[in-house]
Amino acid sequence: MEITYPNCAGLDVHKKTVVCCCITTDKQAQETRTFGTMTQELLALSDWLSSRGVTHIAMESTGEFWKPVYNLLEANFIVLVVNAQHIKNVPGRKTDVKDAEWIAQLLRHGLLRGSFIPPLPQRDLRDLTRHRTNLVREKAAVVNRLQKVLEWANLKLASVVTDIMGVSAQKILAAIVEGQQDAFILSELAIGSLRRKQQQLEQALSGRVREHHRFLIATHLSHISFLDEQIAIFDAQIAARIQAQTLLPQPSIPVETDRWESAAADNPALTPTDLSWEQAVALLDTIPGVGRETAEVLLAEIGTDMSRFPSAAHLARWARVCPGNYESAGKRYAGCIGQGNNWLRSGLVQAANAAARCKNSYLSALYHRLAGRRGRKKAIIAVAHRILTAVYHMLNKQQVFQDLGAFYLDERRKHHLLQRMCSRIQQLGYQVSLEPTTGFTS
């Protein structure tokens, strides 16, 4: 078999040890050593690999353990982090040394495909956006726990107000914590449109609140206030990182460089673009359903350089927002989307749910077109797929989102749609005569 990388190494990474198999062509030798995962030992691993003339290294993406190894080796070597499912070893020969040798042999013959590891500034932005997402989820969990306490105290506040963390609701909860029990006085704290529901609010606040409930409500409110402060801090930090980021060259994935270059030759649009992070966020913010925070998540997960993805379909497949292929003996089985980048996919699904509620838009029309016959969940994934496709082309061409309109899908098959409707009306016993109206715009 042809040798692609003559001087390479395979790493079997664990929590406390790293088993390294080094294969070099000059000496026609294969040598295996075991190193620890402390910083000094990993630097010794780097020096040993450099002395052997190694240029390419491959290792499995084993949880979080590959990250410290990658941090110290990426400056001196081309490091591939490979999906463990793609490099399963021969059954019955499972040891750490055999794993390292197998990875090295696969890498030497060019049979491994590296995962997408973004550059350091983007990885830092990822950490910030992902931690902010965790804080938002934690806040939602605390709000749900607060709602449980209110139910135990016979306070049906959520049955009247839309958001129990709104301005009026927070005033009412603060008064309850202070010991106020009069439902009429509590209902008088409502402001704005909620005052029209004052009678219902008074009935909802006639509960059985004990000191135990007040303690729990006060604790949850304090926790929510702390999380709001933390979220605001992360918002400011993310905005500062995006504003301060200068235009830096984005390296492509090392092993697949040849394939990317051949794809770029066939498609001239696949060239790196000098697009700042702030400009990219402003572009993504023009998509219906995508707000500032979602745009920041998309930027942190996929970056601005679309040349690392040969096509929009490849990006959708990487993000796992397109159906899988599972066909056997001429029968097509369930094509589940599979496991992918959960942070990116959750952001896209959130944007798709918001876009489905935007009236007179292409994404909303697509959702309602599919939801009736394919179900809501599949329709949302389809909308998320279209949003990601739009993101790919917008970042490539540096253009704002252009809505195709609510009637775009109907216009593409207008003749067939008219025939079907006319046939249906004739089946009901009526004659149909079609005449175009003047002044109608789709």
29-82 confidence digits (pLDDT tens): 789 999 999 999 999 999 999 998 999 999 988 788 999 999 999 999 999 999
pLDDT in tens, 170-228: 999 999 999 998 999 999 999 988 889 989 999 999 989 999 999 999 999 999 999 99
Label residue 430 exposed, middle or buried (CB < 10 Å: 0-12, 13-18, 19+).
exposed
Per-residue 3-state assignment (H helix, E strand, C coil) for 4-37 = CCCCEEEEEECCCEEEEEEEECCCCEEEEEEEEC
pLDDT of residue 431: 87
Contact 298, 284 (CB under 8 A): yes
* Residue 265 pLDDT grade (very low, low, confident, very high; cuts 50, 70, 90): very low
Q: Which residues of 195-218 are buried (b: 16+ CB within 10 A; e: fewer)?
A: eebeeebbebbebebeeebbebbe
Average pLDDT, the chain: 86
Q: Would you call 59 helix, strand, or coil by DSSP?
A: strand
Q: Give the mean model confidence (pLDDT) for residues 232-249.
A: 83
pLDDT in tens, 342-369: 999 999 999 999 999 998 899 999 999 8
Fold of 8-108: Nucleotidyltransferase; domain 5 (3.30.420)
d(CA 71, CA 79): 10
58 alpha carbon, distance to own chain's centre:
25
Q: Where are the beta strands (DSSP E) in 84-184?
A: none
Which residues make beta-bridge pairs with 80?
58
d(CA 397, CA 241): 24
What does the domain layout of the chain look like in residue ranges? 8-108, 122-244, 270-325+337-397
The DSSP code for 254 is S
For the entire predicted model, the pTM comes to 0.81
Whether the per-residue pLDDT at 282 is higher than 60: the answer is yes
* Residue 268 pLDDT grade (very low, low, confident, very high; cuts 50, 70, 90): very low
* Residue 247 pLDDT grade (very low, low, confident, very high; cuts 50, 70, 90): very low
pLDDT in tens, 71-124: 999 999 999 999 887 777 666 667 888 888 888 889 888 888 888 888 899 999
Whether the per-residue pLDDT at 257 is higher than 70: the answer is no
Q: Give the mean model confidence (pLDDT) for residues 395-402.
A: 90
Q: Would you call 282 helix, strand, or coil by DSSP?
A: helix
Q: Give the mean model confidence (pLDDT) for residues 125-153.
A: 95
Radius of gyration of the chain (CA): 29
Q: Are strands 331-332 and 56-60 parallel, antiparallel or unpaired?
A: unpaired
